[in-house]
Amino acid sequence: MVSVVLLQLLAAVLITVSSQTRPGPESVQELSAQSQIVLRGTVRLLNSSTVTADDVSDLAVVRLNELVAGPAMLKPFVGKDITVRLKAAKDVKEGEERVFFVNPWVFGDSIGVVEIGSYVQGRAEAAPQTLARDVEKAKMAEADRELKAKLDKAQLVVAGRAIAVKPLLRPFLTEHDPQWSEAEIEVTEVLKGTPAGKVTIVFPASNDVMWYKAPKPKVGEESIFLLRTGLVGVAPERIGVSEPQDVLPVSQLPRVKTLLGR
């Protein structure tokens, strides 16, 4: 009976210790892939908030000590208190410095974020740049997975230069009409598929809110084009681009070739 109790106590201690130490690179990679923001922060107040909230039972006020990864718009909040919606409030203590993997929740005079995972920042832990490096590697790996999926979906991938651009002559159809246009591409390298020396593609030229992020080839620009058919609003056989990552800078050529196994 005593041995069973000791084993249970030992298991509880191991679980507690594991929650207080930095996870391995694989766990950091997994957490980074699920979160848009990684930060170091000191837990100042539990059951409290810097943003309006009806229920603060799983909220904590955290001093943002360092923005490890995330949008530049968050940099002004470094050194200030923010709110974290905790994943497991019972495991968090006031005064702890933790590394938080989070996603956006509320933006205003203060900000609120939702925790995906976190761990206690130990005094003897590896240098901060180690975490930044692991997070960067994880973000790059996730970006490569997304780009690989787009490359697999593309029927034709070429590097080339736009030599002519003109609008398609078609009626205005909707409030958010994409204003489909044509670009003639002089192909310099075929990465997937077998086009001729030139290929004519379609793209949405509109700057409407639905289309302003879509790529818009310009005469003289050299790019990598991830092309596909089945674009809504043009003939089914027309090949073109419509999403931000459908056109990449030529500096991405080695990366694209690697992902295509070339």
Which one is predicted more confidently, 168 or 114?
A: 114
- Looking only at the bridges linking them, the beta strands covering 156-167 and 111-120 are unpaired
Query: Do the Cβ atoms of 60 and 39 come closer than 8 Å?
Result: no
Q: Which CATH class is domain 154-259?
A: mainly beta
SS3 6: helix
Q: What is the pLDDT of residue 196?
A: 67
| Segments making up each domain of the chain, as ranges | 22-142, 154-259
User: Which pLDDT band holds residue 135 (cuts at 50, 70, 90)?
Assistant: confident
- Mean confidence (pLDDT) of the chain: 86
CATH number of 22-142: 2.40.50.120
Do the domains 154-259 and 22-142 match in fold?
yes
